[in-house]
Amino acid sequence: MKVVKFGGSSVANAEQISKIIGVVTADADRRIVVVSAPGKRCKDDTKVTDLLIALANTVLAGNDFEKELNAVVDRYAEIQRELDLPADVVAVIEADLRGRIAGRGSNNLQFMDAMKAAGEDNSAKLIAEAFTKAGFPAKYVNPGEVGMLLSDEFGNAEVLPESFEKLASLKDATEILIFPGFFGETKGGEVATFPRGGSDITGAILAAAVKADVYENFTDVDSVCAMDPRVIDNPPAIESMTYREMRELSYAGFGVFHDEAIIPAVHAEIPICIKNTNNPSAPGTMVVPRRTPEHGSVVGISSAGGFCSIYIDKYMMNREIGFGRRLLQILEEEGISFEHTPSGIDNVSVILASANISNEKEALVVNRIKEELKPDNVTVEHGLALVMVVGEGMHYTAGMAAKATGAFREAGVNLEMINQGASEISMMFAVKDDDREKAIRALGAAFFGI
C-alpha cells in the first residue's frame, strides 16, 4: 500500500484537486491521502495557512476580523463552486472558523495552532467530498480521533511514540482515506501543529505507522535536480538517492524536505518517492535506505551561503590537552551552535552559520578566546559559502578530491577550506560567497560534464 501526500500547490484550486483524484484512483494501492491547505495559485498569491495566521493575529489584537475571515472562506468557496459541490459546504467551513474563534482560550499559541490547523482540516473535508462526488467513496479522517498524538509544544509539536501503534489500524480501512496534514492532538485534546511545511511529517508518520511500501510525496516538480537549476540550466535529474545523501544535500541548500520531516519514514525504512501532480507518469526521484552506487559517482552538488569562520592559530596546539574542549565550551556558554571544525597541527577553524552569531556576540567570543586560550592569532572571516559534493559512490574512491580541486583551480576559485573524510559520502568546500556560482559551475563540468 502507498501513502500519498499532496502539498499546497496540488490542492490550490479545483483543477489541481481534479488531478489528485485522477492520480489517486489510477493506482489501487494509493489508499491514504494526506493533504495540505490550499497553497498559492500563482506566484503572488497567499497560502491559506498565511491567511489563517493573519486572521488569528487580527483576532488576538482585538480588531474586527470579518475581512480576514472572508479571505479564507472565499478560497474554499472558489474551490466549492468550481468543483460544483453543494453550497452548504462553505457555510460549514465558515461556521467551523467562527467556532474556533469563539472557542479561544487564554493560551494564544494554542489558539494560533487551532486556527492554522483549520487550513488542512477543511481542505481534507472538501477533498473527501470531491472524491465521493466523482464516484470514489472517500472518508475524511480526524487526526485526533485516530491517534495522531503530539507533544504540547504549540507550533513546533512532535509526534508522541504511541501514535504509531494507534495509527497502524488505518491500513485496514476499505475506503480511500483523506487525512489532513500538519496537525494532531495533545494528550489533553488540544489541536497542535508541526512546524511550517509539516504535512510532510504527517505523511511520513502515517507511512511508518501502516508500514507502507512507499511514501509518495507529490509536489510540482518532475524530480529532484542534481544541481541548483537557478545556477545551472537543465541540470540532470536524480533518479534515486539514499536518505543520507538527501540529508547531506539538504544541509547545503537542497529544499527537498525540511530535514526532520521524514525521520519517521527513515526509521521505518520506507522508500520515499517525490513525484509531480502535474505530470504523474514521470518516474520522480526515489529516496531509499540504501543503494549500490556506481563507483566514484556523484549524486548531487549543493551549496549554501551565509557562513563565517573563526580561525585560531597557536604553536603546539596539538600538545595542549583540553584546547578543543575549552574552545567549544566558550561557544556553548554563549549559546552558539557550530557547523564544522576542520583542524591542523597548530590551528583550528570553527565554521558557524552567520545568522547564529551577532556582531556583539562575535566580539565577545573572540575576546574570550584571546583571554582564555591565549592563541597566537584569531581571525574571523565573513561571507563564506559551503559547497558540497555528495554521493555514496565516493566512498574510498581515489581522485575525487583531486578532480574537484583541479576544477576549482582551472576556474580560478580560491578554496578557503576543504573538509573531506569526516563523512564517507561527501566532500565539503568553503569558498567566498562571491565565488559560489563559479564553484558550482566548475564542479558541474567536472562531475556531470555539463
Q: What's the closest the beta carbon of residue 373 comes to ligand ASP, in angstroms? A: 43
Grid coordinates representing 396 are 574510498
Burial of 42 (0-12, 13-18, 19+ CB in 10 A): exposed
**Residue whose CB is less far from ligand ASP, 9 or 163:** 9
| Minimum distance, C-beta of residue 197 to ligand ASP, in the bound complex (Å) | 4
Shortest distance, position 143 Cβ to ligand ASP, whole Å: 13
Q: Which of 388, 419, 391 lies closest to 302, judged by CA?
A: 388
Stretch in the footprint of ligand ASP (CB under 6 A) among 58-66, 142-150, 195-203, 334-342 = 195-203
C-beta closer to ligand ASP: residue 197 or 296: 197
Which part of the chain contacts ligand ASP (CB under 6 A), choosing from 93-101, 198-206, 335-343, 359-367? 198-206
| Nearest CA-CA partner of 211 in 36, 20, 35, 31 | 31
| Burial of 86 (C-beta count, 10 Å sphere; 0-12/13-18/19+) | exposed
Calculate the alpha carbon distances from 35 to 3, 7, 218, 342, 356 in Å. Answer: 11, 6, 10, 43, 34
Per-residue contact track with ligand ASP, 117 to 156, x per CB under 6 A? --x-------------------------------------
Give CA 302 to chain center in angstroms. Answer: 15
Closest-CA residue to 11 (of 40, 49, 42): 40
41 binds ligand ASP (CB under 6 A): no
Least Å distance between CB 200 and ligand ASP?
A: 6
d(CA 15, CA 11): 8
Q: For the residues of 93-142, what is the DSSP string, one character each?
A: HHHHHHHHHHT--S-HHHHHHHHHHHHHHHHHHHHHHHHHHTT--EEE--
Please identify, using beta-carbon distances, which residue of 278 and 341 lies nearer to ligand ASP: 278
Size of the site for ligand ASP (CB under 6 A): 14
Candidates 4, 8, 154, 390: give the one binding ligand ASP (CB under 6 A). Answer: 8
Min. distance of Cβ 124 from ligand ASP in angstroms?
12
CA dihedral over 135, 140, 146, 147, signed as positive or negative? positive
Residue from 10, 13, 16, 36 touching ligand ASP (CB under 6 A): that is 36
Closest contact distance (angstroms) between CB of 116 and ligand ASP is: 7
CB of 8 to ligand ASP, least distance (A): 5
Of 90 and 117, nearer to ligand ASP (C-beta) is 117
67: CB partners within 8 A, 6+ apart? none
CB nearer to ligand ASP: pick between 180 and 342: 180
Per CB under 6 A, 217 contacts ligand ASP: no
- Residue numbers at the binding site for ligand ASP (CB under 6 A): 7-8, 36-37, 47, 49, 119, 181-182, 196-200
